[in-house]
Amino acid sequence: MASSRTRERVAQGHPCFGGNRHKNGRIHLAVAPRCNITCGYCDRRHDCAHETRPGVTSRLLTPTEALAQVRDVMARSDYGPIIKVIGIAGPGDPLANEETFETFRLVQREFPELLFCLSSNGLVLPDRIGELADINLHSLTVTINAVDPEVGARIYRQVCYRGRVTTGREGAGILIRNQFEGMRLAAERGMVVKVNTVLIPGVNEGQIPLIAEKVSEAGAFLMNVMPIIPQAAFAHVPRPTGEQLEQVRRANEGTIAQFRGCQQCRADAIGLIGGCADSKAAVKDDVRRSGQW
């Protein structure tokens, strides 16, 4: 399990784990283009200046370019003092991309004082947990939307694991087993674990109490119930209201602590959560000097 010192650092400094989001900022480095599952709610084809959602980036970076961007941002008087976290959250799945590990190693050598975080679907988490421990990852977010493979089959269109593509109940079952096993291993290795769950009305409402119970047992620190962004195969599904989300969170906070500050950030977000720098246009203007855009 995470040491009390690591948990305290993450809880106080990481805005997505309870840290003060009005004072603590982060940089998402968009170095991970490839993904190993196909989610029914995922559509990364569009990008505009005011679009804020996971999987969106204006430009992919190489690890070397990512390090240059971190240097530039950390050197700025308006950004540097607030940046506490370096995160990799896409636009694909970070664990399906070797660039993720190279980027963390490069940035950690120059900025060891920062927190390092990764978001994943968890499919290959058990396979790569040793590598995550080796790079001293502080916190990890795993997106888990179902416990029952029958429900998962309605959410995930295909799963590619160890070179084999599976669909339906079989594919969902592989993903779900690996998610919970990987989360347990991550907690044992000392990482602070958060779970993201996308609330999809008419699909997985009944799964959320089961997810909350199982992730708590596996060692998760926090749960973040997120609203579906209607698009792709779920374009017809109504987005949950704030009241509906709060009802779900209250119903499950006795099982595991609930996070309420999520803004469903882009894969290239910089600055404070919900701040103007989360806009692609603002980031582009602010870091143009680095030559990354």
The domains of the chain, with CATH numbers, are: 4-282 (3.20.20.70)
In this prediction, residue 44 carries a pLDDT of: 62
Q: Are 96 and 35 in contact (CB under 8 A)?
A: yes
Read out DSSP for 161-198?
ETTEEE-HHHHHHHHHHHHHHHHHHHHHTT-EEEEEEE
Position with higher pLDDT, 269 vs 257 = 257
pLDDT in tens, 247-266: 999 999 999 999 887 766 77
Read out DSSP for 14-49?
-TTTTS-TTT-EEEE---B---SEEETT---S---T
In this prediction, residue 288 carries a pLDDT of: 41
Q: Output the pTM of the full model.
A: 0.88
pLDDT in tens, 41-91: 887 665 544 455 566 667 899 999 999 999 999 999 888 888 988 999 889
pLDDT in tens, 127-173: 999 999 999 999 999 999 999 999 999 999 999 999 999 999 999 99
In this prediction, residue 57 carries a pLDDT of: 64
Average pLDDT of the chain to the nearest whole number: 86
Q: Are 149 and 166 in contact (CB under 8 A)?
A: no
CA angle, residues 55, 61, 63, in degrees to nearest 5? 120
User: pLDDT band at 184, cuts 50/70/90?
Assistant: very high
pLDDT in tens, 7-25: 778 777 677 777 666 788 8
